[in-house]
Copies of this chain bind each other. A is one copy, B any other.
Amino acid sequence: MSRTLHLNAFLMGVGHHEAAWRHPRADPSRLADVRHFQELARIAERGTLDSVFLADGLAVGPAVRHNIQAVFEPITLLAAIATATEHIGLIATASTTYTEPFNLARAFASLDHLSGGRAGWNIVTSAQAREARNFNLDDHPAHADRYRRAAEYVDVAIKLWDSWEDDALVLDTAAGVFADTARVHEIDHAGERFRVRGPLNTPRPPQGRPLLVQAGSSADGIAFAARYAEAVFTAQQTLAGGQAFYSALKRATADAGRDPELVKVLPGIAPVIGGTEKEARDLADELEALIVPEHALAQLSGMTGLDLTGLPLDGPLPDLPDAGAVQSHQSRYQLVVELARRERLTLRQLIGRLGGGRGHRVVVGTPEQIADQIELWFTQGAADGFNVMPPLLPDGLEDFVDHVVPLLRRRGLFRSAYTGRTLREHYGLPRPASAYATRELVAS
């Protein structure tokens, strides 16, 4: 198996379908039960998946009337999951716009230490005005500004993770030397937005640096990913679209002077699995029938920045501005517009198509059909793996692990056992050396 798939279990409440929590097979009371999430992670680990992944946002609005809201903050939840698992990676989304690099670098270092090297950070810049208003602002900073801050932020975080060299912790009890301060470095970062002296207040984490993940697919997002990301999550509806994104990202990565092999491209996939095609279709229909239309319209309005509430559900979409004119979720916006135009969808149809995965591709079928799609994208230059978004949790994840994963293994596409212990090892990525390791700097 020269090239292996990478599969993450994207965990979201009791399922990714927006109406999942209403379905008889879901138990929404488990949202506040940490054991639910530990159990999900153990199911994913049974399937030798690369990681569990948690999304995040820093605000709730009126949509919480009809839509499930996460109870736990991702990093604390992953710390609790870490102690219930042994191998699986732990990727949390966190914002560069509303946090300080010292605090976040430290939290991820702590998660990496707690888990023995399984932490990953999905870097987001936060896109909603509602989030800005929880952090002393009236509106969110412009798209390009957020990405400029993000770049400097990640530079600072990397310096902080590197600030303790790997062999800085001496623990010489006889001499009374805890750390070799010649190997613990002030970073003295003084940039446009941050001044951070360092060093970080924890020894270098097991992975050196947590895995860096990114999910923006706009031009700014691709440029950012080319420079920093080791895994990229993306929403792609068609094979052609997936191939175009895949090659664009790999090219941009090479142009940025990095090996494109070291950036894994992982589209989302929401598999609706049935023993037969009809069973799968029935489940998809059951879920779609549970969508609250006025909620879905409000969600779509948020995604497009246009007030679509009150429009006739069975009429066509109104004209929508180009993606360049919107300041957030640019790539997701474009995907929605293209999907609606390509398939000439009514509002109701569009809502149904988005309900399963918020713009990510929904594949409805038997385990074989799901595995075929995964193999197709993986072998045809559209994906290095997938972010798996089961419509119902835990059921949909169990179906995937018990029925799709064995097929992928049989086809030689996926591991049957973990060969490493860290998330970087699962992804086949090297452990980065500290940038300070070869230098002679004055001790802090």
Give A contacts to B, CB under 8 Å.
19, 21-22, 28-29, 32, 34, 38, 57-62, 64-73, 75-77, 79-80, 82-84, 98-100, 102-103, 106-107, 109-111, 113-114, 130, 133-137, 171, 173-174, 176-181, 184, 194-203, 290, 292, 295, 443-444
Contact = CB atoms under 8 A, between A and B. Distances in A.
Given A34-B83, A173-B22, A178-B68, A76 B196 contact: no
Nearest to A98: B100
B103 A178 contact: no
A58 B98 contact: no
A311 to B, nearest CB: 20
Query: How many identical subunits does the complex contain?
Result: 2
Nearest to A26: B173
B65 A177 contact: yes
Contacts of A200: 60
B83 A38 contact: yes
Contacts of A177: 65-66
B202 A72 contact: yes
Contacts of A203: 32, 69, 71
23 contacts: A21-B173, A21-B178, A22-B173, A22-B176, A32-B113, A34-B83, A58-B103, A60-B184, A60-B199, A64-B178, A64-B179, A65-B178, A68-B178, A69-B179, A69-B202, A72-B113, A76-B76, A80-B82, A83-B84, A100-B135, A102-B135, A135-B196, A176-B295
A201 B69 contact: yes
A173 to B, nearest CB: 4
A180 B181 CA distance: 55
B114 A64 contact: no
Contacts of A102: 58, 98, 134-135
A113 B73 CA distance: 10
Contacts of A179: 64-65, 69
Contacts of A290: 176
Contacts of A198: 134
Chain A to chain B: the 9 pairs with minimum beta-carbon distance, closest first: A133-B197, A73-B110, A79-B79, A76-B79, A176-B292, A76-B110, A102-B134, A22-B173, A65-B181
A28 B73 contact: no
Contacts of A443: 62
B202 A71 contact: yes
A76 B114 contact: yes
Contacts of A79: 76-77, 79-80
Given A77-B114, A136-B196, A176 B32 contact: no
Contacts of A76: 75-76, 79, 107, 110-111, 114
A93 B48 CA distance: 37
A57 to B, nearest CB: 7
Contacts of A135: 100, 102, 196
Nearest to A82: B80
A84 B79 CA distance: 12
Given A77-B114, A79-B77, A84-B83, A201 B65 contact: no
Given A79-B77, A202-B72, A203-B32, A103 B111 contact: no
A68 B70 CA distance: 37
Contacts of A21: 171, 173, 178
Given A60-B199, A201-B60, A66 B444 contact: no
Nearest to A38: B83
Nearest to A110: B73
A27 to B, nearest CB: 10
A37 B174 CA distance: 25
A82 B78 CA distance: 12
A68 B176 CA distance: 10
